[in-house]
Structure 1
Amino acid sequence: MVAPDLDVLFCGINPSLLSAARGHHFARPGNRFWPALHLAGLTPRRLAPEEDRELPRYGLGVTNLVDRPTRTAAELAPEELRDGVAALEELVARYRPRVVAVLGITAWRLATGRARAGWGRQDHRLGGARTWVLPNPSGLNAHHQLPDLARLYGRLREPPG
């Protein structure tokens, strides 16, 4: 779900086994991506995973760092994540989203070698786009609740500054 000149391109780590089987992003029932987008004011209603092709209509897109589905992202090798960042850079340079939002700090740190990277806007631009690192919406990530995700995701449309 990538199109030219998006406001925000969300980048998950990799598809879950269920998402891969269904052919839609963030398809696991406990995933909070879709409700977070709506609560953040990024979509006019809560979309279902089967509606992921509708995202560009709202200036949004979604992709993954790694295409290989796994039960958990911890199953990915650091090399896969690094290769994923290189591919993401090419994708971003080609489609020119305003912002790239990587959903997962551990994956970002491993993929970029920035072991001390924190949450939020990054100094590092990716393919020319402003880059943010935000919490992963997986139900396995209990550190951030839905209201936190919605608040953080909503900041993506704020003007730079």
Structure 2
Amino acid sequence: MPLPSPEELRAARDGFVDDIVAPGLSVLFCGINPSLMSAVTGHHFARPGNRFWPVLRLSGFTPRQLAPAEQHRLLSYGLGITNVVARATARADELDPAELREGGRLLRARTARLRPRWLAVVGVTAYRTAFAEPRARIGRQERTLGATGIWVLPNPSGLNAHWTARSMAEEYGRLRTIAHEEPGREEPGRGAP
């Protein structure tokens, strides 16, 4: 597939990408928001250099590396994709805190409706803002959304130079192991606000 032209990318600003979801998933991955490339193609994590698809394979979530155009295959593995904020931007830092907070509210409602075992937010900074958890760190969170556990993963963007594909795969692999061993958990008083 040829790369989109600069004009096509500009026209994709504020566009949307359909969620890949179903009720009762094992893990619902949640990006920050779609890239312009994703809005043009209609495929999540489509920007060249994004490491989401290679990391899914390296961590054992998928038996082979899927292309963004194969995103619907995730459902057969009990996986799905959504975003905190639905609208596409060139960079996630174009989103303001109020937009992330509103996206977090909508995500909590979506999670309550779909009831995945785990919600995996890919990006700790976005999670901190969207969920009003300023001290959150990568990994399993104490907060749950009903019976859905929450895990914060490193952002797979190529711009996130602090993490290599291999080190990201280790963290994603920790979630994969837990997701196959135990369901999300519900702790008294720790559900959604």
TM bucket, shorter chain: over 0.9
Structure 1 stretches of 4+ moved >4 Å:
none
User: Which residue is 1:151 aligned to?
Assistant: 170
Larger displacement relative to structure 2 (109-118 or 138-147): 109-118
User: Which residue is 1:66 aligned to?
Assistant: 85
Asked if structure 2 preserves the Cα contact closer than 8 Å seen for 1:55 and 1:61, the reply is: yes
Give runs of aligned pairs for residues 17-96 of structure 1, distance below 5 A.
Answer: 17-96=36-115
TM-align CA RMSD: 1.3
Structure 1 residue 126 displacement after superposition: 2.7
Tell me, what secondary structure is at the counterpart of 2:143? coil
Q: % of aligned pairs identical?
A: 59
User: Which residue is 1:118 aligned to?
Assistant: 137
Asked if structure 2 preserves the Cα contact closer than 8 Å seen for 1:122 and 1:133, the reply is: yes
Structure 1 residue 86 displacement after superposition: 1.0
Mapped partners of 1:125, 1:17: distance in 2? 31
Asked if structure 2 preserves the Cα contact closer than 8 Å seen for 1:8 and 1:61, the reply is: yes
User: Which residue is 2:120 aligned to?
Assistant: 101
Mapped partners of 2:132, 2:117: distance in 1? 23
Distance verdict in 2 for CA 1:83–1:127, change over 3 Å: farther
For structure 2, the residue ranges without an aligned partner over 5 or more in a row are 1-19, 186-193
Asked if structure 2 preserves the Cα contact closer than 8 Å seen for 1:92 and 1:128, the reply is: no
Give, as a single letter, the amino acid of the residue that structure 1 aligns with 2:114.
Y
Listed one character per residue, the Cα deviations across residues 20-64 of structure 1 (whole Å, up to 9, x for unaligned) are 111000001100000000111111110000011111101110010
Structure 1 residue 151 displacement after superposition: 0.9
Tell me, what secondary structure is at the counterpart of 1:87? helix
Structure 1 residue 128 displacement after superposition: 3.4
Give, as a single letter, the amino acid of the residue that structure 2 aligns with 1:34.
W
Structure 1 residue 127 displacement after superposition: 4.9
Listed one character per residue, the Cα deviations across residues 132-155 of structure 1 (whole Å, up to 9, x for unaligned) are 111000001111000011111111
Give runs of aligned pairs for residues 123-142 of structure 1, distance below 5 A.
Answer: 123-142=142-161
TM-score (norm 1): 0.96
Give, as a single letter, the amino acid of the residue that structure 1 aligns with 2:74.
L
Give, as a single letter, the amino acid of the residue that structure 1 aligns with 2:42.
G
For structure 1, the residue ranges without an aligned partner over 5 or more in a row are none
Q: How many residues align?
A: 161
